[in-house]
Amino acid sequence: MKWILKHQWLNFRRSPAFEKDLGIKIFLILLGLFLLMNLIFVSSNFNELLDGFGIDTEPTILINQFLLYYFISELGLRYLMQNVPALDIEPYLHLPISKNLVSKFLVFRSILSPYNLLAPSIFIGLTVSTVIPSIGLSKGLVWLLFTLSTSLILHFFNILIKKKLENSNLFWTVLLSLIAINYIENNYLNFDLIPLGQWASAITNNPILLIAPILILLFVIYTSYKFFLENLYLEDLFDAKMMSGEKFTGKLRNWESKGLLNTLIGQELKLILRHKRSRSSVMMAGIFLFYPLLIFSMGKETQSEFMAIFVSIFFTGIFIIQYGQFLWSWNTNQMDFFLTQINPYKLWVESRYRLLVYSVIITSILSLPYFYYGYEVMLIMAATALYNVGINSMLIMRMSLWGPKPIELDKSSMMNYQGVGAAQFVVGIPLILGPMIVYAPFSYIWNGQIGVLAIAVTGLIGIVLRKPFFNAIANKLKKDKYKLIHDLTI
């Protein structure tokens, strides 16, 4: 294993971008150390912080109450930020190195992730400053082992999500349902579906129960090792990654055969499903679908109609904002193909418009459970959906032509600013403020319902006048096609 470690170091040291990578890594290490020192300081002075805020709840009970939320946040952070351990295995496949050894190396290397320092930085300080003085040394150490082993379970669980479960609709449905049900029961029924804090208390009182998280940890380590072992060949990894996308897009063939418009939409859907950056952008949009739940659950006294419009326009138009701002950049590799074809540009424009409209229809259907918060919320959702279809979808199509930049589809969208320019930072402002500007005068002169009606009518006017807009965008594409090919082709 030491030879593989040495090869990794030589690979990094002899890289042409060594100096640049070294500078970035040193900066990130210093930044990470600064953050960890802050976490250690806060956790080591937790009791003083509670006193400063005037909170008189017993600290260990308070910590246990928030354990579940911490670990959900940690899993979300790991999923969004943590890379799965990778190794250029091709040079090793023809050498007398066993797959078993390479698989163990990948498991070992994954443990060295800096994200595994988060939990020790927080829980060791809390154990020393708060838990041990409260429940004693032996119980405090058991509590520390429980929390650290839970964090490691999430580490390997995150690897399995990214490698095996990321494309499973069933997995995401179950996971998001558990989070939503737990949130609703905790806030409205005073009941925890996953009482992690109570489990922590039970384990500290009966240390033999600690064997349960340790067994789970060993299971996820073994499962990760087996996955690496069974997918170590390049072909296997390729198949495992592509199968789910191919399976779905294969169902589009019959639909695509019904006209060029459907073909163009089908090609865009395949692009979304098959490439890393487009797929992760859509998944990021999916995460924000729970945003209204967070706002509406705060109660009517903390909300205004402007806030409800803001949340609704964001909810029904999240795909438009997230995906539409790079609408033409997604086709970086095919831009010269599209713009040099004889086929009418209007069809290409209309296919992108329909894709955005389909997203609004899907989010509108997903908004139906928010009827729980009253019919007024649903009226605002419906009005903003019409506005997104009639105005915002066309606005984003035009704004996405402001200095578009090429995008590499095989790169992740997380912390990736390739293709991001000044236009992407201001693109959301008119989309969000537009319906509020329409709403304000009608609401002021008459009432809020007339204001909501004005938003809906504005959206309908945009839908009726969409044909001239298609012509304008198509003419713009035709006029600037050589510039776009130059700007967007990598």
CA-nearest of 108, 97, 106, 114 to 227 is 106
What is the reported pTM? 0.58
Collapsing DSSP to helix, strand or coil, 247 comes out as helix
Dihedral, CA of residue 159, residue 164, residue 169 and residue 170, to nearest 10: -90
> What are the tens digits of pLDDT across the range 285-342?
777 777 777 777 666 655 678 888 988 898 888 888 888 888 888 887 777 777 776 6
Long-range contacts of 65-69 (CB under 8 A, 24+ apart): 65/197, 66/197, 67/147, 67/196, 67/197, 67/200, 68/182, 68/192, 68/194, 68/195, 68/196, 68/197
Give me the pLDDT at residue 237, please: 44
Give me the pLDDT at residue 239, please: 43
Handedness of CA 306, 312, 315, 319 (dihedral sign): negative
Long-range contacts of 141-147 (CB under 8 A, 24+ apart): 142/203, 142/204, 142/207, 142/210, 143/200, 143/203, 143/204, 145/210, 146/199, 146/200, 146/203, 146/204, 146/210, 146/213, 147/67, 147/119, 147/123, 147/200
Mean pLDDT of the chain: 79
Average pLDDT of the residues in 236-251: 51
Give me the pLDDT at residue 243, please: 46
> What are the tens digits of pLDDT across the range 6-46?
776 776 666 665 665 566 667 777 878 888 888 888 888 88
Give me the pLDDT at residue 440, please: 92
Task: Determine which of 8-17, 153-162, 261-270, 345-354 has the lowest per-residue pLDDT on average.
Answer: 8-17
Give me the pLDDT at residue 240, please: 45
> What are the tens digits of pLDDT across the range 372-402?
788 888 899 999 999 999 999 999 998 888 8
> What are the tens digits of pLDDT across the range 103-161?
787 788 788 888 888 889 889 988 888 888 888 888 889 999 999 999 999 988 888 88
